[in-house]
Structure 1
Amino acid sequence: MSENILTTESPSNHQGLDQKSVLEILTGINEEDKSVPLSVEKVIPQIEALVEVTVEKMKSGGRLFYIGAGTSGRLGIVDASECPPTYGVPHGMVVGIMAGGDSAIRKAVEFAEDDLEQAWKDLSEHKISNKDVLIGIAASGRTPYVIGGLKKANGEGIVTGCIVCNQGSEVAQNAKFPVEVVVGPEYVTGSTRMKSGTAQKLVLNMVSTAVMIRLGKVKGNRMVDMQLSNEKLVDRGTKMVMQELTDLTYDEAQKLLLETGSVRRAVLKGQK
């Protein structure tokens, strides 16, 4: 795919941004953002295929890995880091890795994404195997770090997927389960942290949420295994217990919750 026709790098639909008022800028950004969920909707079948195979692997004890660089890498780390507190899964069940390591989360590491070999070295530290799933995240679809990681994983018989924002990219060609969300030109030409980043975040939300639901981490519509790591979550959990065990007062439900450590265990104990 020629660099000259990358959708993510194509000129903005909006001209003279530096001459616009704040209201005009905000309105233009919002107009562009409205198109993103519609672009995601078009690729739900691709997301479904990726989720189905991920659930299958994780039910057999596998893990989910994300790799990416820059904004894409950070989004993977955010999604992975939120799974343990939200769903009570062990740290290391969903792993986010980005080019340049942890220091790149806050500050860009120059040329880190250009190393074809580094992703596999990073993944090897976690002893990735064919029990696991690897998803490469790259708006452009041409990030060497991601391409190299996917190629090596394919050679090792690991299930691979990707989330990209250009059609027919090299990243997608090296993923067995590609998700290609084409959102069109960015408001600021080439600024893929905007619409492309939003699309990637939406897809990551869908993937991890659907996987956790299918793994039994949600009951009804409630996060019954969430970690009770602050007062807000203790309060939320207490109210969940009260909804399931309607004869308990707030104080009784909270006591039971704190004794058992989770909504799921509190409800099970209360039903005995």
Structure 2
Amino acid sequence: MIITEAPSKFTDLEKMSVQEILSNINKEDQTVPAAVSKAIPQIEELVEGVVARMQQGGRLFYIGAGTSGRLGILDASECPPTYGVPHGLVVGLIAGGDTAIRKAVEHAEDDEALAWKDLQAHNITAKDSVVGIAASGRTPYVLGGIRKASENGIFTGGISCNSNTELSAVADVGIELIVGPEFVTGSTRMKSGTAQKLALNMISTTVMIRLGKVRGNKMVDMQLSNKKLVKRAVKMIMEDTGVSEAKAKELLEAHGSVRKAVDSFRAVSS
């Protein structure tokens, strides 16, 4: 039996009090960062490969089914507003298409040919990278996509939550986040999903930093899509330049981003 399908260490969950359920879930969740930490060497290898290709004009694709697919889409969708990169630089694909983001599409994850078709719709090339996400490490949609990508000279990675998975075997870089049995047996949206989310945070954040999308510790290229972010941007400009709030607002309105506002001020001041 694979680890993600192993019986929970807890029994008679329905007999637990609410406090006991919450506390036990929390105790299990505390083991997740340690599992992710053990995979840092593999995560590093993946990031290095992705960055090298993105510096040559490549893109990053995530492919997955169910929870894994939704996590990939979430990570991809947050890159443009956070780092000001174009939509389409990081792409999340889920078995069954956009409908599956909200509602499961029957048997979509069992189609080994579907992911490659989805990738081809984006005119994928050897400059790109594809990361398959599957807690079990054996989801046909993901395996088929990674196999075809590899056959076509595309750099690939796999994120799973079992040991020695088929996904790790077919990907260039296999990342295995071994979090153990779930609190509710087989419910991989729990610890496995949390581990995948942590790894994806690490991958996309590190990639964007290496691509120069962070200065110091600030999101200087973030999209100014609401009042909160505009206020944050004004504060960042004030901190980096020492100007007043009014001047910072003026610079931001004139240049449209923290990076451009700060660079313009420094150019004039030098």
TM-score category (smaller protein): over 0.9
Q: 2:182 aligns with which of 160, 183, 186?
A: 186
- Provide the residue aligned with 1:8 in structure 2: 4
Q: Distance in 2 between matches of 1:13 and 1:104?
A: 31
Give aligned pairs, total.
267
Q: Distance in 1 between matches of 2:220 and 2:173?
A: 30
Q: 1:165 aligns with which of 161, 167, 171?
A: 161
Gaps of 5+ in 1: none
Q: How does 1:35-50 map to 2 (within 5 A)?
A: 35-50=31-46
Residue 253 in 1 paired to residue 248 in 2?
Answer: yes
Q: Which stretches of structure 1, 4 residues or longer, exceed 6 Å deviation after superposition?
A: none
- Provide the residue aligned with 2:111 in structure 1: 115
- Provide the residue aligned with 1:99 in structure 2: 95
Deviation at 1:178, TM superposition (A): 0.9
Q: 2:200 aligns with which of 204, 208, 214?
A: 204
Deviation at 1:195, TM superposition (A): 0.1
Q: How does 1:1-272 map to 2 (within 5 A)?
A: 5-246=1-242, 248-271=243-266, 272=268
Alignment-mate amino acid for residue 147 of structure 1: L
Q: Distance in 1 between matches of 2:224 and 2:150?
A: 38
Secondary structure of the residue aligned to 2:104 is coil
What do you get for the CA RMSD once the two structures are aligned? 0.5
Q: Distance in 2 between matches of 1:128 and 1:14?
A: 45
| Percent identity over paired residues | 63
Deviation at 1:40, TM superposition (A): 0.3
Deviation at 1:105, TM superposition (A): 0.3
Deviation at 1:249, TM superposition (A): 1.1
Q: Distance in 1 between matches of 2:57 and 2:73?
A: 21
What TM-score comes out, normalization by structure 2 length? 0.98
After superposition, the C-alpha distances for 1:40-79 in whole angstroms (9 at most, x for unaligned) are 0011000000001111000111000000000000000000
What TM-score comes out, normalization by structure 1 length? 0.97
Deviation at 1:170, TM superposition (A): 1.1
Alignment-mate amino acid for residue 118 of structure 2: D
